[in-house]
Chain A
Amino acid sequence: MHKKIIYMLIIVLSFSVFAQEQAVNNSSTKSAGINLPDISLVGNMIGFSSTDKNALDNNTVFIDEIELGIQGYVAPEIKADVFISFDRGDGSFQGAVEEADLIFQRVAEGLSLKTGKFHLDFGKINRVHSHEWAYVDQPMVLNNFFGADGLTGEGGNLSYLLPLPFFLQIDFGAWRMLADPNQGPDDFSMANIVLSSRLYTSFALTDDSELEFGLSVVSGNGSHYNEFQDDAKIYGLDLTYLLWPASGQRFIFQSEFLNLDRTLPTGELQRYGFYSYAGYQPDKYWEFGARYDLSDNPIPDNERKSAISLILTDKITEMTKLRVQYEYNMESGVHEVFIQAVFGMGPHTHPLN
């Protein structure tokens, strides 16, 4: 199966590379790129070391993910994105469709429809691919409540930009989600039929600053539904403040608060968690950041954990960066260091987040 995927990719890439070569050599800029999808490849390599000797991948350097993106218009006002991700399953690399979607950009005035498999529009980080994050690892609360791969499902999402003098967008989605078969009894994610909605607004406070605010909710079964008939609802509140003091400089403060209500045969669980990230970019090449995490466990035997991380990123180019992250887990006293190299080739775009 994997071989078939790889052969298909090689054929697609060969044709596209040949076609792009033709387009670049064409003197008419107008026609360059027409009918060709944007093809990109992003690699994410991580080195990890922890004072916890039993930590997974301790003192190793590994390829976390290779992501192949094929994006383009399939018809006027209809776009398609396919992201195939190769990541380490249980030691060996496995290829899988991370996202494959069709976007009808204008179904009606202000209304768009996205259908396929993709990351849900919940909060600020869930929709963003990991190589685009300002840190190496997923914030603790998202890991605990969404699972390691975040909230991803097959289904559709309607997005409506309200006809108001300021930005206010409402999203509704219906999804089918599969629970990770490798999940342990203490792991949790949403599964089966899941409904989602999000309200997202943003204001330009000044010419150089922006305040974004969002409310999200997902509702459906938990990943252990077959054993425990667990139902779950997750509510999210996110806030982002951005300030651009000068060209190339940026300050960001971003926080997401999540509340999980989970119904189990033993009773109702209410769990919460949040993260806050503050980052300063003195020029377009560097970013200094700090993140605070606090999260409950989504299981009856609750154990609240918190961590603080310091992050330094060198943005070599738009798609290539080096990052060092130090993380201190406050309850266990464990110190961790991540070193990350993200590299990218080819045109790779994501929608406005």
Chain B
Amino acid sequence: MERLSKVFTCVFLVLFLMLQYSFCEQKLNIVATTTDLADLAKNIGGDKVNIICLSKGNQDLHSIEPRPSMVINIKNADMLIVVGMDLDMWAKSLADAARNSKVMIGSRGYLDVSLNVPKLDVPAKVDASMGDIHIYGNPHYWISPDNGKIILKSIYEEMIELQPANAEYFKKNYDDYLSKLDQNIKKWKEMLKPFAGTKVVTYHESWPYFAEDFNLSVDGFIEPKPGMAPSPSHVLALEEKIKADGVKLILVEPFYDIREAEKIAKDTGIKYIVIASSVGAVSGTGSYLEMFDYDINKIAEALSK
């Protein structure tokens, strides 16, 4: 009898724990393809969300290889946030392999944050003679704090839709972060104001949105066409152009060939700096705000000397 009582107690305890678990508030499982989207989502979701990021900040987002181990992350996701515009197409094969109807393309939990962003460099005609070009326009729109606000809003609205019970919590976090971002944008624009119109050269065509936000002028690229390796003749022509146009600075992301930027800078007598195009790309860029802080300080410092 005593034994039976122990069994009943155990069964009761297990059932009680299961019940507790089922009433427990379930966190929203979010998978983001980039560190930038993950950071923005974390700032809105706080401790009501679990976030997994599929890439690292120091990776070239064009050429990430989807891994089967990533499939499990998407399988358990309630929300999948992608850059879109064909930049992180690898996420589509992962979403297909995960067979999670919550985040399949077109479903409620699939969020392409590019949809509300005004696009730059949308080609009228596309073919491979133009290099690795994106048919929907330049996809590096998150490297713009002004666009960061649009992305933030898209994520916030999606979170509310998926978890209305936490709408108030998400709203407070959204408002707080937006206000912080606005204050920083003002500060950053002030910092780069003296350098308005300055000509820069970038490795890849990643910086048009940033240049538009901060009135910089992108005068050329180390890549002859997007995604193509620089040839000696292109580098020579670019060096001539840098000298003729009075370019002041070369911007390069850490995953491109820094030696090429170094050589061009040396040949032309201008500076080059390695800056972050994603959160975590270089040390000291652990958040979306820190990334712009780092980049803008670096640019201002290089142009002031």
The chain A residues found within 8 Å of chain B, CB to CB, are: 24-25, 27, 29-30, 32, 73, 76-77, 79, 105-106, 109-112, 161, 164-167, 169, 200-204, 207, 210, 212, 242, 244, 246-248, 250, 283-285, 316-320, 345, 349-352
Closest to B66 in A: A352
Structural contact, B101 and A352, CB atoms closer than 8 A = no
**Residues of chain B contacted by A320 (CB below 8 angstroms):** 128
Structural contact, B136 and A32, CB atoms closer than 8 A = yes
Name A105's contact: one of B66, B99, B114, B128 (CB within 8 Å).
B99
Structural contact, B94 and A110, CB atoms closer than 8 A = no
B60 CB–A CB distance under 8 Å = yes
Structural contact, B69 and A317, CB atoms closer than 8 A = no
Number of A-B contacts defined by CB within 8 Å: 108
Structural contact, B128 and A317, CB atoms closer than 8 A = yes
Closest to B132 in A: A317
Among listed B36-44, B115-123, B205-213, interface-contacting one: B115-123
Structural contact, A248 and B60, CB atoms closer than 8 A = yes
Interface flags, B214-253, vs A, CB<8A=1, else 0: 0000000000000111000000000000000000000000
How far, in angstroms, from A351 to B89 measured CA to CA in the complex?
Answer: 12
How far, in angstroms, from A127 to B216 measured CA to CA in the complex?
Answer: 48
Interface flags, B106-149, vs A, CB<8A=1, else 0: 10000000110001001111111001100111000000000000
Closest to B61 in A: A247
Name A161's contact: one of B75, B89, B106 (CB within 8 Å).
B75
**Other A-B pairs, 20, CB within 8 Å; known A110-B99, A242-B67, A349-B93:** A24-B135, A29-B85, A105-B96, A105-B104, A109-B99, A164-B72, A167-B68, A167-B72, A204-B69, A210-B69, A212-B68, A246-B58, A247-B60, A285-B229, A317-B128, A317-B131, A319-B128, A349-B89, A349-B92, A352-B97
Structural contact, A317 and B228, CB atoms closer than 8 A = yes
How far, in angstroms, from A30 to B113 measured CA to CA in the complex?
Answer: 11
Name B97's contact: one of A76, A161, A283 (CB within 8 Å).
A161
**Residues of chain B contacted by A318 (CB below 8 angstroms):** 132, 227
Structural contact, B93 and A351, CB atoms closer than 8 A = yes
What 7 A-B pairs come out closest when comparing CB atoms?
Answer: A202-B68, A247-B255, A204-B69, A167-B68, A352-B97, A352-B93, A247-B59
Closest to A319 in B: B128
Interface of A is mostly: loop
Given contacts A29-B137, A165-B72, A317-B227, contact A283 B257 (CB under 8 A): yes
**Residues of chain B contacted by A76 (CB below 8 angstroms):** 104, 106
Structural contact, B75 and A244, CB atoms closer than 8 A = no
B98 CB–A CB distance under 8 Å = yes
How far, in angstroms, from A318 to B65 measured CA to CA in the complex?
Answer: 12
Structural contact, A106 and B101, CB atoms closer than 8 A = yes
**A182–chain B nearest beta-carbon distance, Å:** 35
